[in-house]
């Protein structure tokens, strides 16, 4: 089973959006996917509750409550991390996944927070020992704005793979409400978002995302 965690100490950076869309995208591709919610806010669990029964089922685990036992036959376990994790708590989370995605928003406050967070993640045992692979995703990007350019440059400087940027789109808001992923909407309405997601899907299914 592959373990993929979406992680950033900064609140509202898009962890739940990326975790739920990744889970749905892999499920649509026929993979067996579970979703573990480490955030006591329970946003990923709420998304699963809204998920229509006719869609590929995704078992959910309220992992913030402590012990959780994912089904053995899963191809992927996607993990949604809480905000404000540092130190020991962060190290404990990092031990659970071999693939880590860090979303960053185009804002000066988020970029400054991300800088510190990325340094902390790089120093953590598992990442330092190359037992876990990390990658960055720019999220809620409004293309051709100055701050987007600054974010791209900031991400490149981190010396970590930058997978893609996801635009700011109502599709993510609709998907969050309906328990769906953007790959479950009509292709015409989500063509740009699908294109922007393909590098993430390629990466998580490739050796490059595995230690
Ligand atoms: N690309 C996007 N386009 C539009 N809205 C987005 C996008 N990404 C995230 N959002 C919205 O931004 C808000 C915060 O996103 P999300 O809940 O995924 O962040 P988070 O990192 O999980 O937050 P928290 O730290 O509170 O768990 C949500 O309302 C979500 O729908
Ligand atoms: Mg969240």
- Sheet with 133-141, edge to edge strand ranges: 60-61, 33-37, 76-80, 2-6, 99-104, 133-141, 162-167
Q: What CATH code is carried by the domain that includes residue 6?
A: 3.40.50.300
Residue 31 inside a domain? The answer is: no
Which is nearest to 4 in space by CA: 19, 14, 26? 19
Cα 83 from chain centre: 13
Q: Which residues pair with 207 in a beta bridge?
A: none
Residue 119 inside a domain? The answer is: yes
| Angle at 169 (CA atoms; ends 163, 171), nearest 5 degrees | 105
Residue 102 inside a domain? The answer is: yes
| Site of tokens 């609709």 | 174
Going by pLDDT thresholds of 50, 70 and 90, the confidence category of residue 52 is very high
Query: Residue 20: what pLDDT?
Result: 98
What is the total count of domains within the chain?
1
Residue 140 inside a domain? The answer is: yes
Contact 197, 190 (CB under 8 A): no
Going by pLDDT thresholds of 50, 70 and 90, the confidence category of residue 125 is confident
Residue 74: DSSP 8-state: -
Range of the domain at 140: 2-22+82-209
Q: If you average pLDDT over residues 178-184, what whole number do you get? A: 98
Residue pLDDT, tens place only, 163-176: 999 999 999 999 99
* Distance of CA 4 from the midpoint of ligand 2 (Å): 15
Mean pLDDT computed over every residue of the chain: 97
Contact 20, 47 (CB under 8 A): yes
Residue 101 inside a domain? The answer is: yes
DSSP 107-120: SHHHHHHHHHHHHH
Q: Does residue 196 register a pLDDT over 90?
A: yes
Atom 13 of ligand 1, residue of closest alpha carbon: 12
Max CA distance (Å), the chain: 46
Going by pLDDT thresholds of 50, 70 and 90, the confidence category of residue 8 is very high
pLDDT > 70: what percent of the chain? 100
Contact 20, 181 (CB under 8 A): yes
Residue pLDDT, tens place only, 64-118: 999 999 999 999 999 999 999 999 999 999 999 999 999 999 999 999 999 999 9
In the chain, where does DSSP find H-type helix?
15-28, 43-50, 87-94, 108-123, 125-128, 146-157, 170-178, 187-204
Residue 76 inside a domain? The answer is: no
* Distance of CA 129 from the midpoint of ligand 1 (Å): 31
Residue pLDDT, tens place only, 14-34: 999 999 999 999 999 999 999
Pocket (CB within 6 angstroms of ligand 1): 11-17, 39, 41, 43, 83, 139-140, 166, 168-169, 172-173, 176
Residue 38 inside a domain? The answer is: no
Per-chain residues with Cβ under 5 A from ion ligand 2: 15-16, 43
Q: If you average pLDDT over residues 131-155, what whole number do you get? A: 95
Q: If you average pLDDT over residues 192-206, what whole number do you get? A: 98
């Amino acid at each position: 089973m592959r373990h993929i965690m979406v992680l950033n100490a900064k609140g509202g950076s898009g962890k739940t959006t990326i975790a739920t869309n990744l889970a749905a995208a892999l499920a649509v591709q026929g993979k067996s996917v579970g979703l573990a919610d480490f955030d006591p806010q329970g946003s990923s669990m709420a998304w699963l509750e809204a998920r229509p029964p006719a869609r590929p089922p995704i078992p959910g685990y309220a992992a913030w409550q402590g012990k959780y036992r994912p089904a053995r036959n899963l191809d992927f376990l996607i993990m949604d991390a809480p905000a404000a994790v540092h130190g020991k708590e962060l190290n404990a989370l990092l031990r659970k996944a071999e693939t880590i995605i860090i979303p960053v928003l185009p804002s000066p406050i988020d970029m400054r927070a991300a800088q510190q967070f990325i340094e902390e993640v790089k120093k953590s045992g598992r990442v330092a020992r190359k037992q876990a692979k990390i990658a960055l995703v720019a999220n809620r990007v409004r293309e051709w704005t100055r701050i987007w350019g600054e974010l791209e440059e900031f991400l490149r400087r981190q010396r970590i793979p930058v997978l893609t940027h996801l635009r700011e789109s109502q599709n993510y808001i609709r998907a969050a409400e309906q328990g769906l992923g953007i790959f479950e909407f009509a292709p015409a309405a989500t063509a740009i978002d699908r294109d922007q997601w393909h590098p993430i899907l390629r990466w998580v299914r490739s050796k490059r995302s595995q230690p």
